[in-house]
Structure 1
């Protein structure tokens, strides 16, 4: 299975529903073909509809890579760059979604339209209400258990104060214990219980070069620096680009507070595609779901990538929900596998010695 397939939600109903207003002639695609697609996703309808002037913004590495593979231009619009049509696939997290609506309005040309599509079960009515508050009157339709809504915002109907307020919602901010995060990241406004459990069971004799896979805003890596004085280098790997800035900030602070010269690096990377170098130890709270569905294949893919990247006597420390079936793949790839702790529905596992 490809990385995009591992992370995909099928069928992607919101993407399919998004193009219904054009099929029903309620909206027209711009004649000159320039379209900005925020949080774009690859799919059949996108391949059939997109023109060379389309720009797709996607910060999640597997989805960005899939867009590039089907020939889409992937990147970010320049400041002040305007488009006659802006498409949006808003996230569930409301502050992140509101910031995205506000960004869409800053990039829509006069007389242009902003169109969004959301699953009904993921806050579609609230999303439509938010767009109406910000941009003025909206139209909508329902299809594929999704709500598609759009506006052609007139300058005098846009709530400029709200626009400024919502643009700021995506800014990194301090959350707890000095950590910096931002809305929409995993456990964005707290310390995740599973990660804290793993941090509390980190062996103090970890040493050498360590990697944190699926690092989020960097909590686990910071704990490695604080608790493991013989670690000389740590690399964070995270697929969500919006996490990279906060992770770098948190890691730099942890390095300063340690008083040691620790080599630090943060990588925007899809872990399921393997790692570029070898490690003495790897820590991870691997993802195990996409949307609302359990997807244990993700965690297994992280374990495979970790085993492939560890030195022969390397150590993998991971935390997972107790019901997730990782023991078989761990036993197949490591000589020793032991459970260090179980608590509140989670298990902490150490695997040592990569099988050749």
Structure 2
């Protein structure tokens, strides 16, 4: 657990935050930051559920100047290097910056990259299947900043976007089977960087599209990728989102991971949001991995369920006419 390594680093003096706010980058909901002085901690994260979690616990999300930083390592290498670059640019030269992560999230390659970049580093502390190591702040390699990247189809992405290398197979399959015409009010739940949204808006009939996305970087990319006045962009947890108006259709490729293990309940929560806010005659267009147990939820919530294709990995489903309890 992150808290055990953080406590160890503080107790052993490996990480000694000087005066000033402590910038904590990308902690996840459930991370225990209580070893740090709450009134000095500023949490920065672009993932809305994590942002809401720490805000509810009373943590600030803006502040400074920063005297030190803690980096909660993400799994994607480009994202990890971008966070290190951000931390180094946010604190004075010579300030302590604690890099923390699980072995399964690539802490060892991150430490190696920092060593090769010439950072002054302390001894790594190992605990709870992860490591923490204190770096002395200095300019990071310019290439670590990870500017927007151009990908297939004329889209741009950033490191914290899902499928940042290009359109994922599931979304491509779903885009290909959308009907030639769609109704007026549509939602894309978990819209990512806008691949499905562009396909939706290419269909006649659409007057308004809600793009609901929890990752701020992905939504920023979607704003560039979908420059259409019919699009409304919402930085929100789709499982808790409440639209102003009911939807006639929902199109989605919902996530089913928050960590390494599959979490079908996350996708089920997306399906429930779609059901809750679809008009009585509304339709859900869904792509999901075939092994995910969504059938029971769909048959409980919709009168019509139709398998509309896919491949060996992905199933495409059309679910229509939401069932309302009386």
TM, length-normalised to structure 2: 0.93
Which of residues 98, 102, 112 is equivalent to 2:81? 98
Alignment of 1:212-291 (within 5 A): 212-226=188-202, 228-252=203-227, 255=228, 263-277=230-244, 278-291=246-259
Task: List per-residue Cα deviations over 1:210-241 (Å, max 9, x = no partner).
Answer: 00000110101111112x21111111000001
The offset of 1:98, in angstroms, is: 1.0
Residue 115 of structure 1 corresponds to 98
Q: Deviations over 1:5-26 (max 9, x none)?
A: xxxxxxxx23442332112333
1:50 partnered with 2:26 = no
1:34 lines up with 2:9 in the alignment:
no
**Partner SS, residue 38 of structure 2:** coil
Contact 2:102 2:129 in 1 (8 A): yes
Q: Would you say 1:146 and 2:130 are equivalent positions?
A: yes
Q: How do 1:123-134 residues align onto structure 2 when only pairs under 5 Å count?
A: 123-134=106-117
Within the alignment, does 1:164 sit opposite 2:132 as a pair? no
1:29 Cα shift?
3.5
Cα pair 2:29 2:49 within 8 Å, conserved = no
More helix by share: 1
Contact between 2:73 and 2:80, CA under 8 Å: does it hold in 1? yes
Residues 317, 348 of structure 1: 8 Å contact kept: yes
Counterpart Cα distance in 2 of 1:15 and 1:265: 38
Q: Which residue number in structure 1 is paired with residue 11 of structure 2? A: 23
Provide the residue aligned with 2:276 in structure 1: 308
Aligned to 1:37, what secondary structure does the other structure show?
strand
Specify which of 318, 321, 324 is matched with residue 353 of structure 1: 321
Q: 1:134 to 1:231 in 2, by over 3 A?
A: same
TM-score, normalising length from structure 1? 0.86
Distance in 1, matches of 2:196 and 2:29, equals 32
Counterpart in the other structure of 1:199: 175
2: CA distance, partners of 1:300 / 1:43: 21
In the TM superposition, structure 1's runs of 4+ consecutive aligned residues that sit over 6 Å from their partners are none
Secondary structure of residue in 2 paired with 1:187: coil
What is the deviation of 1:82? 4.2
2:312 to 340, 344, 350: 344
